[in-house]
A and B are shown apart, each in its own frame.
Chain A
Amino acid sequence: MKAFYWLFMAVALWGATAHAKLNVVATTPDLGAIAREIGGDRIDLTVLARPTEDPHFVDAKPSFIVKLNRADALLEGGAELESGWLRPLIEGARNPRLAQGEPGRIVCSEGIHLLEIPAELDRSKGDVHALGNPHFMTDPQNGKIVAQHVAEAFCRLDKKSCDYYRANLERLTLQLDQKMIEWQRLMEPHQGKRVVTYHNFWLYFSERFGLKMDLYLEPKPGIPPSPSHLAEVMRTMTSEKVRVIAVQPYLNRRIAETVASHTGATVVDLQSFPNGSKGGGSYIEWMDSLVKSLAAALKK
């Protein structure tokens, strides 16, 4: 029994001292990808949502409570992105480092110019987001802002590695700037083209690259497609010669395919997050695959 006790104490002590790395939890894989770029090997990273699932409806698994309980920092999107599942987990985690306003609580939407903030709240228009569209990471410029935010937060939490985080931020920003020129060149010929999507997930992406991804298969946010709405979408598609339908892994591909077969459009798979089954692991690789697969589809 005594041996057990000592073993337990040893494990507890090891756990307390050996983990000099920052223990970081990110709610979604895009934020996780940024944290990985900035934190490198100085952080232990856990991402709660899987890249293929609907980020609004992640299962509040009890194991997440344990992860949050032991975290030094939490990266959340904010703007109601995780409002359906994160709060009870944080309350259950009882971790003072993640309390609202603490340096460990990194709300990534802070400092982002959020779009589509409704002037009035009316759910008869569907499930609206009172604080604006929360899918801001689809714009690489916002990715840069978040990276800077994360680097600053990591610096505050781990002053010794601050130079390291800053250097990583510099490198990522430079890479993003270089890539941005390439991405914009790829998208140049497709300015103003319309693309059909299922949900208003790509708002920031389309704003950045001059596309119009404003034709949705769902009639209102969170409301499933109805035949009459789909018929209207198809009419618009034929009259405006819309050639591309973008779908995400968690969405019903069959509906998109049906609409495509009636209108002669192509269905293109866009990963909602980095580390998806096809898109690359890093934020840049993900953005690269988004731009390239869309540009290729639009060229047809």
Chain B
Amino acid sequence: MNLLIDAFAWIFDPAHLGGPNGIPIRLVQHLTISLAVLVIASVIAIPLGYLIGHTGRGRSLAVSLTGGFRALPTLGLLIIVALWLGIGIEAPIIALVVLAIPPVLAGAYSGFEAIDRRTIDSARAVGMTEGQIVRKVEVPLGLPLLIGGLRSATLQIIATATLADYVGAGGLGRFIFVGLKSNDYSQMLAGSLLVIALALISEGIFALLQKLVVPRGVVANQNADVRTPSSRRVAVVGSPTEERK
């Protein structure tokens, strides 16, 4: 346990709380990279996922794509892109975007798919146009699962952004790799604890968000469980945190 105390002492050492190599700078780097990647991945994956979810076309392709990406070793991808583009910030961002797209895509289309088809048919029957169905029915009802997808994407990004310093991306991973090179275990441990804290905080925020975005109509009906299950098969998505409702 002494090691743990050393690690906390390292974190709260005034020398590490400021300056160009301090914790705040590395934290900001980590957050900036993560946020940028999340935004880029969302801009690409959400419209695509909505298109797949709304039309039902290309679903099997999307399922096998999101499943297949799980087999892709993140470290290998980071390194191959880094060797290709050189050390710097572009390589990690591209690699991270590639890794973040599948969970966001899965969240977007599975959100649409989890909706009872009868709800959508009713919307069509009362005369809603396709655009209105997407905007007023599918997007609100699919939002909790989309947030779930963003949640696993964010976890993936925070975790891989830590690894990304292996190719010089900066961020909190820097403490781990500097500690590793200089055999400074308390610094490695301190970096690890900071990343874990960041991951758990983001997990908490997304869990809360996921609860908040459930439409009021659905919440009101939750006791009666009026939302009948989807008639389409639910895809197995590799996250224990997603909603199965």
Do A and B originate from a single complex? no
B-contacting residues of A (Cβ < 8 Å)? Answer: none
A-contacting residues of B (Cβ < 8 Å)? Answer: none
